């Protein structure tokens, strides 16, 4: 039994969870596996140490004994001999999905998943829509029905693996199964391939699909279309298509979660005296009452004029930010009136913020 620190061998600490411990063992064992390092005695020794460390730390009782008493505690649990002869069992448990061809064991592999980015307008994202998309993909070959074999013929069992799709590998103490190199895990061999797909069972096609976009989606949301990915090889099941949503910028509104924001320009006279304004919403125009003496930056909330959450919940609001506009292109008469207005409104009570600002500036320089 190795006397090295088991935690250091696997590159983890004492608080590592069982799941992370398993990941760490996979990483170390794959790095030093004899198949990847033929004839390398040092790599073989490190592989044995990693398997030994995992065998102890993956067992709660052995791990507790090791944490408390070190290697002596583990020796006692193993009957004092420190024997370790179940590398194959541990390695097969942790790496079974790798050396079994994805768990197919001669079965047909699934096709790959695909991703498509769908750009939509803000209105479509908030209210929902149905979009047509065209996706390049691999579909089952129709003449051979996805089998890859020429019409009138069929695939035969692989002579190397006997139709299982796997062969057993034996190297010293270690025994495991791996994908058959002759049939590549399919378990069958096509002697007369289809003339259209050349034995692949799949052909390229530009597929048109209809995507139902629910109301409330936002950039980053994904819609899964089951079975609309690539067809599997040799008649295997198709993967899935994931439609990634990307919402285009809007000329008026900005979205923040379930709320919408927009800027509302207000004539400075209306800001001073108050008035009613027409404000755009996604449901049409509404009246917004602006009280007298409204300042730039004031936010007005229109409840229920925002976004309905895609996963349910209360509808958001529309937040209108007032921007007081400065008049431009004034005539001489208008300028004279404004100068008269300025002279008539001199004093702290008409511009309290300006007055406090000047006071603060004086204090700063003094």
Task: Give the residue numbers of the binding site for Zn(2+).
Answer: 141, 144, 158, 161, 180, 183, 194, 197
Residue with structure tokens 């529309």?
A: 318
- In 3-state terms, what secondary structure has residue 342? helix
* Burial class (CB within 10 angstroms; exposed 0-12, middle 13-18, buried 19+) of 153: middle
Quickly list DSSP for 316-355: --EEEEEEEEPP-S--HHHHHHHHHHHHHT-STTT-HHHH
- In 3-state terms, what secondary structure has residue 116? strand
Cα–Cα distance between 116 and 133 in angstroms, integer? Answer: 9
**Are the C-beta atoms of residues 144 and 155 closer than 8 Å to each other?**
no
**DSSP code, position 150:** P
- In 3-state terms, what secondary structure has residue 205? strand
Cα–Cα distance between 234 and 46 in angstroms, integer? Answer: 40
**Are the C-beta atoms of residues 302 and 287 closer than 8 Å to each other?**
no
Cα–Cα distance between 298 and 14 in angstroms, integer? Answer: 56
Please report the beta strands in 214-358, taking only residues with DSSP state E, as ranges in sequence order. 222-225, 241-247, 254-256, 259-267, 275-281, 284-290, 299-302, 318-325
CA angle (84 as vertex; 78, 90 as ends), nearest 5 = 110
- In 3-state terms, what secondary structure has residue 42? helix
Q: Residues within the annotated binding site?
A: 141, 144, 158, 161, 180, 183, 194, 197
Main-chain dihedrals φ then ψ at residue 18, nearest 5 degrees: -60, -40
Rg (CA), the chain: 36
Residue 89 CB partners (closer than 8 Å, separation 6+): none
CA distances from 119 to 114, 124, 173, 252 (A): 17, 10, 56, 18
Residue 167 CB partners (closer than 8 Å, separation 6+): 160, 161, 177, 178, 179, 180, 181
């Amino acid at each position: 039994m190795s006397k090295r620190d088991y935690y250091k061998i696997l590159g983890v600490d004492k608080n590592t969870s069982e799941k992370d411990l398993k990941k760490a063992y996979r990483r170390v064992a794959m790095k030093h596996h004899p198949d990847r390092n033929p004839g390398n005695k040092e790599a073989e020794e490190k592989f044995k140490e990693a398997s030994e460390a995992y065998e102890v730390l993956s067992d709660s009782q052995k791990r507790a004994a090791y944490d408390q008493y070190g290697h002596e505690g583990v020796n006692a649990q193993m009957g004092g001999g420190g024997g370790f002869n179940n590398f194959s069992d541990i390695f097969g448990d942790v790496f079974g999905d790798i050396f079994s061809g994805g768990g197919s064991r001669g079965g047909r592999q699934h096709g790959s998943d695909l991703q498509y980015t769908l750009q939509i307008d803000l209105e479509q994202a908030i209210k929902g829509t149905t979009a047509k998309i065209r996706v390049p993909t691999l579909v089952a070959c129709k003449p051979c029905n996805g089998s890859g074999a020429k019409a009138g013929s069929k695939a035969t069992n692989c002579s190397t693996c006997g139709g299982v799709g796997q062969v057993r590998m034996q190297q010293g103490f270690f025994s495991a199964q791996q994908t058959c190199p002759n049939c590549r895990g399919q378990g069958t061999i096509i002697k007369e391939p289809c003339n259209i797909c050349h034995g692949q069972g799949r052909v390229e096609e530009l597929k048109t699909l209809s995507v139902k976009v629910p109301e409330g989606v936002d950039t980053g949301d994904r819609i899964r279309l089951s079975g609309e990915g690539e067809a599997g090889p040799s008649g295997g099941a198709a993967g899935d298509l994931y439609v990634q949503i990307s919402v285009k910028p809007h000329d008026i509104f900005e979205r923040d979660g379930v709320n919408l924001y927009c800027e509302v320009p207000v004539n400075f006279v209306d800001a001073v005296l108050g008035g009613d304004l027409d404000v755009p919403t996604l449901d049409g125009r509404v009246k917004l009452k602006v009280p007298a003496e409204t300042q730039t930056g004031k936010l007005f909330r229109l409840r229920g004029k925002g976004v309905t959450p895609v996963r349910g919940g209360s509808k958001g609001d529309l937040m209108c930010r007032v921007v007081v506009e400065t008049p431009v292109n004034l005539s001489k008469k208008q300028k004279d009136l404004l100068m008269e207005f300025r002279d008539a409104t001199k004093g702290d009570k008409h511009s309290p913020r300006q007055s406090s600002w000047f006071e603060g500036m004086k204090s700063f320089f003094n």
